[in-house]
Each structure stands twice: as C-alpha cells, then as structure tokens.
Chains A and B, each alone.
Chain A
C-alpha cells in the first residue's frame, strides 16, 4: 500500500513536472506602472535583462503609465494568470485603495519577491536656517502653514512620510502644507528655486543636488544611515523616534498563477537579486537593496497596507 502511494506521488510529481517543465515557452511581458526613465523603470529593465538569462526567454518591459499608477497596476492584476505577464508593483498599491482611487490592494497579486526599498530622507535648501530635524520640526510647529513641502503628488508616499512624522512628533500634519508635484526632481528644483522649503524624498533622488551643494539632507527615516551618505543621521538618533517610511518595489504576477510558475520565477528572481550585476547597478544609482521571498513579500505588503492605511487615516487623507 505504501509503495503504491509512493508510486502515485512520484507519478503525479512527474506529470506535474512535465506539464510545467516547459515554462516559460514564450516571451514574458513585464508591466511597469510608471514612466520610462524613472527609477522604477530602470530597476525593472535591469531585472528583466538579467532574468532573461535565467529563464532563457525574452522579457519585454512595457510601460503602462497614467492615473498615478492605477492604470499599470490594474493591467498587471487583470492579466491572464499564466505567468506570461508579470509586473513591478510599487508602494502605491498599499495606498491607492485607502484613498478610493482603485479597489485593488496587495491581495490582488501573487508576490514573486521584494527587490528594493528606498527610505525617505528630509531635505532642505543649502541656505536654510535649519541644520537638523529637531529645529525644522520646532519651526514648523511654531509657525503652522508658513513652510511648504513638495516632492510627489497629493497623498503620495513622500507626503505620507513627512505627514506621518509630524503626527508622530505631536505636530498637526496640516502645519506643513503639501504642494503636489510630478515627482521628486521637480519638487527639488522648486525648492532650490525658493518655491517650497522641505522635500522629503529618497536619498538617491536628491543625490545630484546634494553633491552640487544646493540641498542638505537632514536625516533619513530608516533604521540605518544611507549608504551614499553615512553621515546623515537616522530619526532615532535625531529625535529618538522609530518612525520609518520607504518606497519599495515588488515583482508580482496576477493572482492565481500556478505554484510551479511562481517557484520558477521566484528562483530566477533570487538569482538575479544575488548577481553582481544587479548589486552593482543598484549601488551605482544609490538604490537600496532588500530581499524577501514570495511568502515574506506577502507579509511585508500586508503590514505596509495596514500601516499606510492607518497613516492616511491619521493625516486625514483616507476616504
């Protein structure tokens, strides 16, 4: 009887194996919900070009932009769950449904792996009178509404980062009005031009302006100082606060792809993540590298969803 069971198990393993041994048989499409040229696009393209070598099929990167990321995230979730359409989903998937932009949440995807996270930094103009985060927050508290911040759209990740920190420090988030912008670069440019006072974006986004001596990084919302500038203090050191916020990127597939396909993709992605090319690329851009496998990514996204939902509610942006 036992041997029969064994045989059956072996047989079924062979059949399942044979059915999926061929995957992938044709090129795979990797959907990016953000525009060509940004950090997300660049990350997707390097992953695609390295993953091609692992799975021996071309991976075509397709930008589906618009609607603050809704269109692309929607396209990934709705694609056939056969493993031939995957996507790079970003932190916004845990935010957009709280503000009523879409019904989609992280549960609508099959996670493959977490590949990157870039914590928020706090940046001011080089001639700003504020030399540390404590003074800056005290000034915001003392003169509500006087200073303005920018660096992403209304209710975007960097908006939440600073609003959440103010809340954490017992300051009304409304004391630092948000000026919506099309991303960190226009926000930083506006700050240097004197239009706004604070830009809470990631360190690599501000790097050129910091190096050019136009912008000062006051602190980083992470447990560790940034690799690019080890002298920039953490919030823990500056304020004794554990507040942390990062933009992250996850490779995911539509919900319900075959387990074998998920494993194949996960294995290939892990090899890409461990490769020297990927590490060199991310280091050259100053992007942070973090890894979580499918299970870890699912937990990570579920936690992010809860945390960001609570923050959005606390700062009055959730619907």
Chain B
C-alpha cells in the first residue's frame, strides 16, 4: 500500500456527499435495528435500490454503516424491553434485561455499545491485514466441518440454562423440533404443513423469537399488574469511565469474543447470531464467576457484544475475496459490488486498491460514529422505562405485531408470535428457559442439512466425519467438550460432597 493509494482513498471518503450518506445511513440503521423484527439484512435490502444511483464508495459505505448500527441498535430493545432487535442480540437478551431490572440498564447498553465498537474495529483490522489468507482457510470448510461447528454451538445450550441443565436440554429439543417443520429440509419434504402454504413456508424464526421473549414478558407483566413497577435506573453518567473499568477487568474476554466473532463471521455458513451464542457460552464456561451469569452480569455481554459486531466485518472476508457470502448481509453486498464494477476476487485489493481502502476507512468511521449516535440513542431510549406500565405494554405489543408482520409481510407471522408468546410464558412459569429453544431453532436446519449432506457425500460412512483434518480436529474438540463434565464427575466424585 503506497501513500498515493491511501490519499486517494481518503479523498474518496472525505467528500461531503459520501459523509452525508454515511450519517444518513447511520440514522437509518439505528432506527431499523432498534425495531424488533426489522433486521440488519432487511436494512441492506432496503438500501439496494437507493445504491443503484450512487457511485461505488458511497453505495458500499451506506450498507457498511447501516448494518453496523443495526446490529448494535438491536441491543437497545433487547436490554430495555426484552425484545431482541435482531437475532444477533438474542443470546444475551435475558442477561441484559436482568441488568435493567437491577437498575443497571445503562451499564448493559453502554457495554453493548463500547464493546460493539471494539469488536467492529478488531474485525476491520483483521479484514485489512489478513483477508486473502483467512478466506483461503474459510474455503476449506465443507459440510463435515460445519456439522461439528453446529454441534459445538448446541453445547452452548447447557451454559444458557440457568440452574437446571436438564430443563435447558428439553427447551433445546423443543427448538430443534420446531426447526424441523416446513419444507426447508434437505429433501424438500413437507413436514407438518397440512397442505397449508403458510405452514409450508416454515415457522419463521423472528416472529417466534419476538413472541418468546417479548410477548411472554408482556403476559407476565399483565399477570402481576397489582405489583409495583420498580425499575429505578442508576445513572452511569459518563459512559466511558464505566467502560474503561470494564475493559481493564475483562481484556481477555474482549479479545476472545472479537477473535471468535471474526472467525465465525469469515466462515460462509455462519454469521453474527451464531457468533454471539458461542461467545456468550464461552464467556460463561471460562468465567471465574459463572454462577453470576443470568442474574444480570455484564461479563457475557462484553464478550458476546464484541463478538457479533466483529462477525459483521469478518463476513466481508470471503465475500470480497471469493464472492462467497459470509452471511445474509454480504450475500446482498456481492450483487452491489458487481453492479458497481468492484468484482470480488483475490486481486480486488490490488486492482481496486483506492476503493478497497476507502471501504476500510468507512468501516472504521462507521464504528467510531456509533459512539456519539449510540449514546444519544441509549439516553433517549432509557426514558422508555419511566413510562407507566399500562401505557408501555400495549405499545410494545404493537411493535411486536408490526415486527412479526414485516418479516414476511404476512399475518401468519403475527399468529406465530402470539402462539409462541403463550408457549414461552408457560415454559418460563415452570422453570424452562427459552434461550436454548431459540438456539435450537437457529441451528436446527443447519444441523440437519450438514449431517445429511455429509452422509450423502460419504455414502453413509460415519467415520467420514473424522477423515478430513479440520473436521477431525473439530470433532475431537466437540467430543471433549461433551465428555468433560462426565470425566470430571468420575475423577472428582465427591469433592463437593465431602
């Protein structure tokens, strides 16, 4: 990279029009992300027709900025109202909401913001330095490797279940059952569709997620209407002082979350949502105080918040180098890249160097811009909690309805949301956590698809899951994770009882 290229890149970005596009897309992304049911992917799709009429750099800049903002903004309703704004926030929704109930809502949101920024910057740095090399590795993943990755992801369920792991597993299995419904299975065989076109479309994740988290909470609020609505929030004043303390306390967690997030993001089959689940589980597994998880403990939010934003940048690695989407957002981006003459390929960094470095600068700018806009959004949104409950709850329900409808433009989404809201209420009243069920729904289709694909490729030989080097390594790791609690119980049988 020469100085000339860099100055060209800066000239491309620091143009009044481009800067205006960045600020406008940031506000747009913040809005879309904060409304449950409207995802970062949807923000990108809505931007595409607008980008048709823009030069290449502002076109890509608008998407980069809007998605980064949307993924962070998903934390806001997740934390304050227990409504994950995007699936990437679902992993730590309960934790953040528990913090809000303890009066630490601003700490949770501040952590979500600051560590989103750090994760995003980390992912960008990796994208700049190591994209071609990492993309080569990502291309080595076949269905065998993804199968093990999904199994590792499922093991997170055990860590998500607070208190009773058995109930966590039951909830996970329920999620897997729901995921098997519909036509989107490897043989495209209609399961539990009863000849209905809406059911053939499958039970869509987002309305279910909104129902299970938000609607169940609304029902609970209605059921306990006579009790006082106490959610006094401690002001943290300067967001950064508090966050500096957290950074000093959890440096390893931040690094681990960012690294895992970037890696998962770079894999074409997995994105920000899976990265967040795995990071949250990892955080609990290696924490010095795992017992605090679930009761409103910030550690998991720090790690998973960094993870999902770094995954966003990571997903651009295979997209830019091989035109293979790292997630659903970059799947859209690849089309825009072609239209703008920025054809993906290993040589893009040489042939289109000024544009590429301009895009990297936009990544950095977008993450930095998240700080002032994010703080403003947090301060504004926190006022919500002062609203009387009788007013707030119907408004939340309204947003749930809008979000569930918007995802497929279908009233069936609203029905799904309400039905699963009831299911989740009954589950939680009986001590079954809902997060593992959501995890099962996120991973269920992938689990089946990669298992069946692998079996077809291997003509039914199970040993094939260990025949490729990366698959063998992941397989051994997975078995170790599953076997460890048994081994530990066997080696140290009576340590606690003695």
Contacts and interface: CB of A to CB of B under 8 A. Distances in A.
Interface string A96-130: 00000110000000000000000000000000000
A66 B183 contact: yes
A216 interface: no
Contacts of B332: 36-37, 41
A266 interface: no
Nearest to B318: A189
A194 interface: yes
Contacts of A186: 268-269
Interface string A37-75: 111011001101100000000000111111110110011
Contact of A64 (B268, B331, B408): B408
A68 B190 CA distance: 10
A66 B182 contact: yes
Interface in A227-258: none
Contact of B188 (A155, A190, A195, A212): A155
A299 interface: no
Nearest to B409: A62
A214 B183 contact: no
A68 B268 contact: no
B249 interface: no
Contact of A36 (B45, B202, B345): B45
Interface residues of B, number: 59
Contacts of B459: 145
A67 B182 contact: yes
B345 A211 contact: yes
A7 interface: no
B334 interface: yes
Contacts, number: 175
Given A36-B44, A180-B186, A281 B339 contact: yes
A154 B190 CA distance: 13
A67 B410 contact: no
Contacts of B318: 189
A208 interface: yes
A68 B331 contact: no
A41 B141 CA distance: 27
A284 interface: yes
A312 to B, nearest CB: 13
B140 interface: yes
B345 A195 contact: no
Given A37-B331, A212-B346, A284 B339 contact: yes
Contacts of B328: 35-37
Given A64-B408, A68-B184, A180 B324 contact: no
Contact of A195 (B49, B144, B186, B325): B144
A208 B202 contact: no
Interface string A130-169: 0000000000000001001010011100000000000000
B453 interface: yes
B410 A64 contact: yes
Contacts of A211: 323, 343, 345
A99 to B, nearest CB: 8
Most buried by A among B182, B197, B453: B197
B321 interface: yes
Given A37-B328, A63-B45, A209-B323, A68 B183 contact: yes
Contacts of B145: 193
B428 interface: no
B457 interface: yes
Contacts of B45: 36-37, 41, 63
A268 interface: no
Nearest to B267: A189
A180 B187 contact: yes
A41 B42 CA distance: 12
A66 B204 contact: yes
A180 B468 CA distance: 21
A42 B328 CA distance: 14
A188 interface: yes
A24 to B, nearest CB: 19
B201 A179 contact: no
Contacts of A179: 143, 453, 456-457
Nearest to A38: B331
Given A37-B41, A66-B408, A195-B142, A181 B453 contact: yes
A190 B324 CA distance: 11
Nearest to A178: B456
A192 interface: yes
Contacts of A36: 41-42, 44-45, 48, 328, 332
Contacts of A270: none
Contacts of B324: 185, 188-189, 208-209
Contacts of B190: 67, 101
Given A37-B332, A148-B456, A194 B187 contact: no
A52 B79 CA distance: 41
A189 B144 CA distance: 13
Contacts of B268: 185-186, 189
A41 B335 CA distance: 10
A192 B453 contact: no
Nearest to A197: B457
B198 interface: yes
The 3 residue pairs across chains A and B that have the minimum distance between CB atoms:
A208-B323, A66-B201, A37-B332
Given A39-B335, A67-B193, A211-B345, 12 more contacts: A36-B328, A37-B48, A62-B409, A64-B201, A64-B408, A75-B197, A186-B268, A192-B139, A194-B140, A208-B322, A209-B323, A211-B343
25 contacts: A36-B44, A36-B332, A37-B335, A48-B49, A49-B49, A63-B408, A65-B201, A67-B197, A75-B197, A102-B197, A153-B188, A154-B187, A179-B456, A180-B186, A180-B449, A185-B331, A186-B268, A189-B318, A190-B143, A193-B141, A195-B144, A214-B139, A284-B338, A284-B339, A286-B338
